[in-house]
């Protein structure tokens, strides 16, 4: 069972002729140890190749130094960068990140939350929608949690997100400014994280511009390219059809581009399209995609910082909702 017995603190103590207590203290620096003893212990450790047992430490400290990252769909290029930002932010503080992908399905998310809790992670970054069941579990567990994308049902926890209403309004504003009136939207799941807010931003922008309510056209996708394609197809079936579409993310916008092309419609002349995220692919498709850039690396880094802060200050720290600045990237599709 223990194939490569790595030496224990006890072995080191014996070899160095001191107590385990002392060895522990040269490790933790929690109480002074005389120079000579310390040097002695240190060299013994090096010679024996001592490595403190992580489980033993975690057990007595009741702290895992692990963060769970739960993402909707790692395949969406938005998330890898977020993950990188998170990892960088927490690695320095000695934390490790545990990955849970595929939270697009509700059961996967519940499973992820459960497993993360079982593993006793110190914190969770939740970049996915979560059922009431999981939400309740999270509250009860009392883990540090940073929600990515504002989520009203988890408002009691720290969060990082773009200013979703504002960004949608900005995108729609761009379209209105170009003279469009028949501006549709392909929304994300309305009950879910940023989906609802972006939809609201869209509605509000039209209303503020005095566009007639009957020109409000909403189709719903699931954040994927295929979902966007289907939604666009349904929008194009309406008559009169929209002349512009605000898509709640780039992947769906690319799908919308596919659907338009399939009907012989060309952007931007027949149909203007705007996405959100600015994933690499946005610059790669032809016509290239006008979009709202959201800096996902920074979002990940911020989520990490929020967690570290809370872990340092305990439950005492005030809840923070951080908004990350977006920006418009104008390309060919508008």
Partner DNA sequence: CTGAAAGCGCTTACAG
Residues at the contact surface with DNA, assessed by CB under 7 A: 2, 5, 8-10, 17-22, 24-25, 27-28, 30-34, 36-38, 50-53, 56-57, 59-62
Q: Which is nearer to a copy of itself, 8 or 37 (CB)?
A: 8
User: Does 247 contact a copy of itself by CB under 8 A?
Assistant: no
DSSP string, 283-334: HHSSSPPEEEE--HHHHHHHHHHHHHHHHHHGGGSPP-EEEEP-EEE--TT-
Question: Residue 6 carries which DSSP code?
Answer: P
Interface with a copy of itself by CB under 8 A: which range of 2-10, 32-40, 238-246, 259-267? 2-10
Least distance (Å) from a copy of itself to the CB of residue 114?
Answer: 9
Question: In 3-state terms, what secondary structure has residue 53?
Answer: coil
Dump the DSSP string for 134-196: HHHHHHHHT-EEEEES--GGGTTSEEEEE-HHHHHHHHHHHHHHTT---EEEEEPPTTSHHHH
Q: How far is the CB of 237 from a copy of itself (least distance, A)?
A: 25
Decide whether 179 or 314 has the Cβ nearer to a copy of itself: 314
Q: Which does 10 bind (CB under 5 to 8 A by kind): a copy of itself, DNA, none?
A: DNA
How far apart, in whole angstroms, are the C-alpha atoms of residue 145 and residue 256?
35
Nearest distance in Å: CB 297, a copy of itself: 9
* Partner from a copy of itself, DNA, none binding residue 290, C-beta < 5-8 Å depending on class: none
CB neighbours of 130 closer than 8 A, spacing ≥ 6? Answer: 109, 110, 113, 138, 151, 153, 154
Beta-carbon neighbour count of residue 139 at 10 Å? Answer: 13
Give the shortest CB-74-to-a copy of itself separation in angstroms: 4
Q: Vertex 212, ends 210 and 218: CA angle to 5°?
A: 110
Residue 36 in the binding site for a copy of itself (CB under 8 A) = no
- Judged by beta carbon, residue 169 or residue 254, the one nearer a copy of itself is 254
Looking at 286, 313, 321, 327, which residue binds a copy of itself (CB under 8 A)? 286
Q: 3-state class of 5 per DSSP?
A: coil
Q: What pairs with residue 185 in β-bridges?
A: 218, 246
Q: Which residues 135-154 are close enough to bind a copy of itself by CB under 8 A?
A: 140-142
Q: Which does 8 bind (CB under 5 to 8 A by kind): DNA, a copy of itself, none?
A: DNA
If the CB atoms of residues 25 and 310 are measured against DNA, the closer one turns out to be: 25
Mode of pairing for the β-strands spanning 66-71 and 123-127: parallel
Task: Report how far Cα 35 is from the mean position of its chain's Cα atoms.
Answer: 46
From the list DNA, a copy of itself, none, which binds 163 (C-beta under 5 to 8 Å, kind-based)?
A: none
Q: Does 20 sit near a copy of itself (CB under 8 A)?
A: no
In the chain, count H helices and then E strands.
Answer: 13, 12
Provide the residue count of the chain: 334
Residues 309-328 that bind a copy of itself (CB under 8 A): 315
> Considering only residues 83, 189, 196, 201, which one is a binding residue for a copy of itself as defined by CB under 8 A?
83
62 binds a copy of itself (CB under 8 A): yes
Pick the stretch among 76-84, 123-131, 197-205, 239-247 that binds a copy of itself (CB under 8 A): 76-84
């Amino acid at each position: 069972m223990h194939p490569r017995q790595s030496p224990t603190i006890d072995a080191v103590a014996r070899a160095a002729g001191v107590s385990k207590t002392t060895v522990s203290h040269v490790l933790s620096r929690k109480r002074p140890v005389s120079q000579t003893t310390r040097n002695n212990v240190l060299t013994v450790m090096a010679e024996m190749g001592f490595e403190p047992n992580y489980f033993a430490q975690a057990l007595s400290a009741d702290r895992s130094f692990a963060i769970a990252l739960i993402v909707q769909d790692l395949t969406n290029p938005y998330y890898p960068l977020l993950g990188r930002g998170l990892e960088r932010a927490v690695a320095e503080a000695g934390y490790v990140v545990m990955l849970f992908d595929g939270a697009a399905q509700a059961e996967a998310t519940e499973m992820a939350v459960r497993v993360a809790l079982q593993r006793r992670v110190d914190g969770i970054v939740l970049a996915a929608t979560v059922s009431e069941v999981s939400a309740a579990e999270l509250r009860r567990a009392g883990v540090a949690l940073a929600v990515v994308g504002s989520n009203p049902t988890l408002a009691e926890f720290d969060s990082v997100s773009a200013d979703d209403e504002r960004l949608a309004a900005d995108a729609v504003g761009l379209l209105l400014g170009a003279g469009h009136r028949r501006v549709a939207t392909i929304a994300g799941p309305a009950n879910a994280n940023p989906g609802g807010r972006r939809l609201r931003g869209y509605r509000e922008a039209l209303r503020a511009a005095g566009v007639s309510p009957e020109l409000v056209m909403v189709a719903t996708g699931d954040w994927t390219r295929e979902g966007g394609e289907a939604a666009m197809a349904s929008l194009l079936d309406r008559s009169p059809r929209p002349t512009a579409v605000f898509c709640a993310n780039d992947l769906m916008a690319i799908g919308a581009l596919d659907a338009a092309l399939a009907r012989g419609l060309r952007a931007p002349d027949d149909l203007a399209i705007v996405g959100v995220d600015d994933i690499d692919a946005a610059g790669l498709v032809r016509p290239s995609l006008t979009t709202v850039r959201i800096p996902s690396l920074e979002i990940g880094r911020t989520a990490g910082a929020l967690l570290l802060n809370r872990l340092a200050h305990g439950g005492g720290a005030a809840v923070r909702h951080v908004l990350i600045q977006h920006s418009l990237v104008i390309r060919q599709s508008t």
